Amino acid sequence: MPAVYLEREDKMIKVNELNVKDILKKLNINPTTVIIARNNELITEDAVLSENDKIKILPVISGG
Amino acid sequence: MPCKRCKSNPVIQLPNSNIKLCKSCFIKYFERKVLNTIRKYNLINHKENIISALSGGKDSLSLLYLLNKIASKKLDFKLSALLVDEGIKGYRDKTIKTAREFCEKNNIKLHITSYSEVTGKTLDKIKKQFPDTIACSMCGVLRRYLLNKKSRELKANKLATGHNLDDEAQSIMMNQFRHNIALSARLGPITGVKRDKRFVPRIKPFYFLTEKEVATYAFINGLMDEFNECTYCTESNRFVVRDMLNSLEQKYPGTKHSIVASFLEVLPLLKEKYKNQKINSCKICSEPASSEVCNACNLLQRIRQ
């Protein structure tokens, strides 16, 4: 199961989905509001993960 | 699907399009778009003194990074940075540290001013004094006042800000919702309705780039710090409009681009309509004002009571 780190909430979760688009949908995250990194490299929403992948979901909004 | 140009791994799918770009092709696309905006709207001229507003967040850091990159290579202008310390504990203190480190590393002169300097109080204290007033409305008045005043004192020709397409679409819609069209006339890639020596024009080189594109550029260039949100941001009307536009963008891709493109078509008419509107000088501080006393002095009087 891939691990997903949600930076805004500062929490790590495990998901069953391998498709980034499906993960965002499951977590109710609007893709226009985040960028996604795997091993410190950005990936697009149509990327497919491996079982042991860890990704970070980073908000793109300005903090203030 | 790989990068459209070089077939490497993509880092972004461009907004409102099926085009994907890899890291190096995206950097070229991003920087070309900024240069085109600067040239098309005459944002920066030869030998000008440009001050870049810096908060230490990803937008202003990316802007300063890119302006510094092109200041000596592509365009010839003088560059320094200006930071306004509002005095927000746990938020601004962190970004100031990032801003200082960045300027030191890149040998960029950093000017710092603060709300304490002019009001004797931090925003945290001002908010405690007026708990029922939205912090962002007081903060906006003071920040605009200080940025303009300090930039003028530093003899800047232009003040560059990291405002992006998302910010502009939000401002346009907020002005529509409040029937504040005179304020919209001041928007655009370069602000102001007419030249006035009391105003330092603000330029927005990221005008046609989305927040996601700026974040992607910041991440690739190592300019994205850990997520840090202003203590008072949930009070802001702008954030409600931002969420609304993001929902619309997800459902109807291209919404934000359309808002800005439509606005740019009518902007010359708005500027023409408001070009003869008189700008007073505040009777207290002599800064530009829409009435006898400017918004900043009105607020300062309340704070000092």
Q: How large a percentage of chain A has pLDDT more than 90?
A: 72
Rounded to an integer, what distance in angstroms lies between the CA atom of residue A29 and that of residue B80? Answer: 37
Domain that holds residue A28: 3-59
Instruction: State how many domains chain B has.
Output: 1
> Which CATH number belongs to the domain containing residue A30 in this structure?
3.10.20.30
pLDDT digits (tens, 9 = 90+) for B201-256: 999 999 999 999 999 999 999 998 776 777 777 767 888 999 999 999 999 999 99
pLDDT of A63 strictly over 70: no
Please report whether residue A64 resides in a domain: no
Quick check: A44 and B216 CB within 8 A? Answer: no
Identify residues of B whose CB sits under 8 angstroms from chain A CBs.
Answer: 1, 9-13, 15, 20, 23, 55, 57-59, 88, 91, 167, 210-212, 214-216, 219-220, 224, 226-230, 232-233, 242, 246-247, 249-250
CA of A17 vs chain B CAs: smallest distance (Å) = 19
Q: Is residue A30 part of a domain?
A: yes
Beta strand A34-38 with A11-14: parallel, antiparallel or unpaired? Answer: unpaired
Once rounded to an integer, what is the mean pLDDT over residues B48-77?
A: 91
Give the residue with greater pLDDT, B279 vs A39.
A39
Contact (CB<8Å) A7/B230: no
* pLDDT tens-place string over residues B160-205: 999 999 999 999 999 999 999 988 999 999 997 777 788 899 999 9
The residue with greater pLDDT, B34 or B4, is B34
Query: How many Å apart are CA B266 and CA B269, to the nearest integer?
Result: 5
User: Which residues in chain B have their CB less than 8 angstroms from residue A20's CB?
Assistant: none
Mutate to test the interface with B, among A32, A33, A39 (most CBs of B within 10 A): A32
Q: Tokens for A15?
A: 């998901």
Mean pLDDT of A6-32: 92
Residues of A in contact with B247 (CB under 8 A): 30
* Residue B288, φ and ψ in degrees, nearest 5: -60, 145
Residue A8, min C-alpha distance to chain B (Å): 6
CATH number for the domain spanning B136: value is 3.40.50.620
Find the Cα–Cα–Cα–Cα dihedral B74, B77, B83, B84, rounded to 10°.
-120
Note the helical H segments in chain B: 23-40, 58-72, 92-106, 115-119, 123-129, 135-153, 165-177, 181-184, 211-220, 237-251, 255-274, 295-304
B67: nearest Cα among B183, B274, B205: B205
Pick A35 or B302 by higher pLDDT: A35
- ipTM field: 0.94
The domain tally of chain A equals 1
For residue range B264-274, what is the model confidence (pLDDT) as tens digits? 999 999 999 98
Distance CA B36, CA B208 (A): 10
* Residue range of the domain that includes B60: 27-180+196-268
Residue range B7-38, pLDDT digits in tens: 889 999 998 888 999 999 999 999 999 999 99
pLDDT band (50, 70, 90) for residue B288 = confident
> What is the rounded CA–CA span in Å between residue B226 and residue A30?
20
* Chain A residues 29-48 within an 8 A CB cutoff of chain B: 30-35, 37, 41-46
Q: Tell me what percent of the residues of chain B surpass a pLDDT of 70.
A: 99
CA–CA separation, B242 vs B248, rounded Å? 10
Q: How far is B220 from chain A (nearest CA, A)?
A: 8
